[in-house]
Amino acid sequence: MAFEEMWRDLSPVGRSASSGGYFRQPWTSAEGELRAWFAEECAARGLVVETDGIGNQVAWWGDGDLPGVLTGSHLDSVLDGGAYDGPLGVVSALAAIDTLRARGVQPGRPIGVGVFVEEEGSRFGRACLGSRLVAGATTWEEARELRDRAGVFLADAVAAAGLDPSAGLLSLDRVGTFVELHVEQGRDLVDRDVPVGLASEIWPHGRWRFDFAGQANHAGTTRMEDRHDPMLTYAMTALAANKQARLAEQRATFGRIAVEPNGTNAVPSLVTAWLDARASSNAALADMVAAIERQAEDRAGRDGTALVVTPESVSGSVAFDADLATRLAGLGGWPVIPTQAGHDAGILSDAGIPTAMVFVRNPTGVSHSPDERAETADCLAGVEALADVLAELTRSGNPA
């Protein structure tokens, strides 16, 4: 079965022997292998892959002047991520083309399969960087100055991967509609007892860097009342963020910190912590982040530390094309559900492209973790659903 073979081929790439999770960071050798794998799979189907100057890829089946339907997702992962977040959408897109061909479908408009780079923002901190650049939501002039944790500039990382941004970026001119299939990252479909759903909206979300500066000092000789300890300000801020989010039924997470000098027997001089916050509306998100910031400032005042907050990646709410979702949901009686996770589909939707998402049930809801799972039978149901969606959108005479 093509889906299972592709899945098997991908499974060792970037996999950690210790955790079983994936490290498929953009512009690394693991990602290079994934890009080559995608090109081979397309070639095996007689599709020619275009790779743009930063590594985004697309292959089109069919040509002609009608706007095409693009499907696909991303192949990069979060640090120590799961196998499904991203790759499921790419493998399912290729498998859906096989299914359409096996059904004898001749699409009345082109179908593209695409892969966007650095969707997770795991290396350069900007979520959906590849699709943002393609859609013009971020410029290369600004992005090239981003640095990874080792201080490498994006422009240098891209060049080191053998890519040349001056070759240009993918064009979205041919894209009339975008459909992204994705593993569900919650338990909505489990609770509804259905393998497949469609997306209604993406919650607004973002990342804010909190720099807490204090005074380095001796852990033994400095009296507790004489300290300016940024770890305390950070710790209280993490608790405050959790409380704010729980009270407002929103989401707030500090999942990453860096401490300087990071020594056991010294009060730190600097703690940098990244807040990931998500809420059900743009206003609720702004309110929650402002409340967390206020509490952090207040505590910094009492600790004698200094706080600087910098937004690093902010995405407003996305409402997917409701008519499109209703029309496609009707094909299988699938539920239409919201998500709190960001996706390239949100960027393309913001760019004015009618966009839909197909979700595949995740039996535990766990994601961004080595424990992320989907049953093979559900993945195959997802492929069938995607094939149905693509057939509907490309049937001669149908609107895309």
Q: Which residues would be at the binding site for ligand GLV (CB under 6 A)? A: 120, 127, 341-342
- Binding segment (CB under 5 A) for Mn ion, from list 83-91, 172-180, 221-229, 316-324: 83-91
Least separation, in Å, of the C-beta of 262 and ligand GLV?
26
Which residue lies nearer to ligand GLV by CB, 337 or 341?
341
Distance (Å, whole) CA 281 – CA 337? 16
CB of 118 or CB of 303, closer to ligand GLV? 118
Among 85, 118, 188, 293, binds Mn ion (CB under 5 A): 85
Which of the listed partners (ligand GLV, Mn ion, none) does 342 bind, with a CB threshold of 5 to 8 Å by partner kind? ligand GLV
| Beta carbons within 8 Å of 73's beta carbon, 6+ residues apart | 86, 87, 88, 89, 90, 93, 115, 116, 119, 180, 181, 182, 343, 344
Contact indicator for 210, 263 with CB cutoff of 8 Å: no
Binding residue count for Mn ion, defined by CB under 5 A? 2
Instruction: Identify the three-state secondary structure at position 261.
Output: coil
Residue 105 — φ and ψ, nearest 5°? -75, 130
Cβ neighbors of 154 (< 8 A, separation 6 or more) are 124, 143, 144, 145, 146, 147, 148
Least distance (Å) from ligand GLV to the CB of residue 319? 17
Nearest distance from residue 120's CB to Mn ion, in Å?
Answer: 5
Burial of residue 215 (CB within 10 Å: 0-12, 13-18, 19+) is middle
Residue 299 or 373 having the CB closest to ligand GLV: 373
Report the residue number, 277 or 324, with the smaller CB distance to ligand GLV: 277
Contact by Cβ (8 Å): 130, 77:
no
Report which of 105, 295, 309 is spatially closest to residue 207, judged by C-alpha positions.
309
Specify the 3-state DSSP secondary structure of 368. coil
Binding partner selected for residue 31 from Mn ion, ligand GLV, none, CB under the kind-specific 5 to 8 Å limit? none
Smallest gap, in angstroms, from Cβ of residue 330 to ligand GLV?
28
Q: How far is the CB of 126 from ligand GLV (least distance, A)?
A: 11
> Is residue 114 a contact point for Mn ion (CB under 5 A)?
no
Nearer to Mn ion, 81 or 230 (CB): 81
Burial of 302 (0-12, 13-18, 19+ CB in 10 A): exposed
Closest distance to ligand GLV from the beta carbon of 205 (Å): 6
Smallest gap, in angstroms, from Cβ of residue 86 to Mn ion?
Answer: 5
* Residue 378 binding Mn ion, by CB under 5 A: no
Listed in order, strand segments (DSSP E) in the chain are 49-51, 57-61, 68-74, 111-116, 175-183, 196-202, 205-213, 217-218, 251-260, 266-267, 270-278, 306-315, 318-319, 336-339, 355-360
CA distances from 98 to 1, 94, 198, 383 (A): 10, 7, 22, 10
Q: Which residue is nearest to Mn ion (CB)?
A: 85
Q: Which does 346 bind (CB under 5 to 8 A by kind): ligand GLV, Mn ion, none?
A: none
Q: How far is the CB of 341 from ligand GLV (least distance, A)?
A: 4
Q: Amino acid identity of 47?
A: L
Query: Residues 6 or more apart from 223 whose CB is under 8 A from it?
Result: none
Q: Identify which of residues 97 and 199 has a Cβ nearer to ligand GLV in the complex.
A: 199
Least Cβ distance, residue 128 to ligand GLV (angstroms): 8
User: Of 85 and 184, which CB lies nearer to Mn ion in the complex structure?
Assistant: 85
* Residue 86 lies near Mn ion (rule: CB under 5 A): yes
- For residue 86, the partner it binds in ligand GLV, Mn ion, none, with Cβ less than 5 to 8 A by kind, is Mn ion
Residues 15, 348, 315, CA angle at the centre, nearest 5°?
75
Give 86 or 112: the residue with its C-beta nearer to Mn ion: 86
Cα-based angle 142, 145, 151 (whole degrees, multiple of 5): 155
126 vs 227, which CB is nearer to ligand GLV?
126
Residues within the interface to Mn ion (CB under 5 A)? 85-86
